[in-house]
Amino acid sequence: MKSHQPSSGFILIMVLLLIATLSLLILCSLQRLVFIIRTNERIKIQHQAFYALESTAKMLQINFSKLPKACKHQNLNVDNVSRHVLSSEGCSFEQAGVMYSYLFLDLGVFPCLMISEKNEEYSSHHWWLIISSEQIKHQVLWIRFAIPEHQSFCASKSMIARVHHPMSWRISIEP
């Protein structure tokens, strides 16, 4: 009969420790992979919600003249406009199961910033469209656009420029 060497038990323990360590590494890698997949899905959903918000804003701009006057404000404090929209104090509507809150802020007529439409020159009346969605919490999309207005007197004829739609946009994140 052969006697067992004391090192054979040590080798078994080392092999079991190596297998356990490799199993933990594989488990951590799988957990990280699941985390990355969930993060990518969340980002994809946020992007889709933002694109829906942007297309809704374009639709509101197109239908600007048909919208109620209660949605168009002249004397609001710009610092509080985002809070008005986020708290649904502006106008709201539902599209594809999503609630949107918005309002328009009148920036006035800019007679030297011209809009060309059908080979005619018009002064531009500027507006902010401020819109938020229940899908994107605490984010507000601001779009500045201009509509043609009957020609107003421009004191500086050298400052004539052409206005394009939309003129600018930004996203603000409110606490």
pLDDT at 139: 85
Domain boundaries, the chain: 55-173
Q: Do the Cβ atoms of 91 and 103 come closer than 8 Å?
A: yes
pLDDT at 5: 61
Nearest CA among 133, 157, 129 for reference residue 144: 129
Phi then psi for 168, rounded to 5 degrees?
Answer: -160, 160
In tens, the pLDDT along 105-143 reads 999 888 888 887 777 778 888 999 999 888 887 888 999
Position 123: which residue type? S
Q: Which residue has the higher pLDDT, 32 or 61?
A: 32
Q: Which residue has the higher pLDDT, 72 or 159?
A: 72
In tens, the pLDDT along 77-91 reads 777 777 778 777 778
Position 111: which residue type? P
Q: Do the Cβ atoms of 151 and 123 come closer than 8 Å?
A: yes
pLDDT at 6: 62
- Residues paired with residue 34 on neighbouring β-strands, in sequence order: none
Considering the chain, what is the average pLDDT of its residues? 84
For residue 167, give the DSSP letter: -
In tens, the pLDDT along 11-40 reads 889 999 999 999 999 999 999 999 999 999
> Band of the pLDDT at 163, cuts 50, 70, 90?
low
Please tell me the distance from the alpha carbon of residue 167 to that of residue 165, in angstroms, as a whole number.
5
Nearest CA among 52, 50, 102 for reference residue 76: 102
Please tell me the distance from the alpha carbon of residue 123 to that of residue 36, in angstroms, as a whole number.
51
Q: Do the Cβ atoms of 76 and 84 come closer than 8 Å?
A: yes
Please, what's the b/e burial string for 152-165 (b: 16 or more CB within 10 A of its CB; e: otherwise)? eeeeeeeeeeebee
Instruction: State whether residue 132 is helix, strand or coil.
Output: strand
End-to-end CA distance of the chain: 79
pLDDT at 95: 87
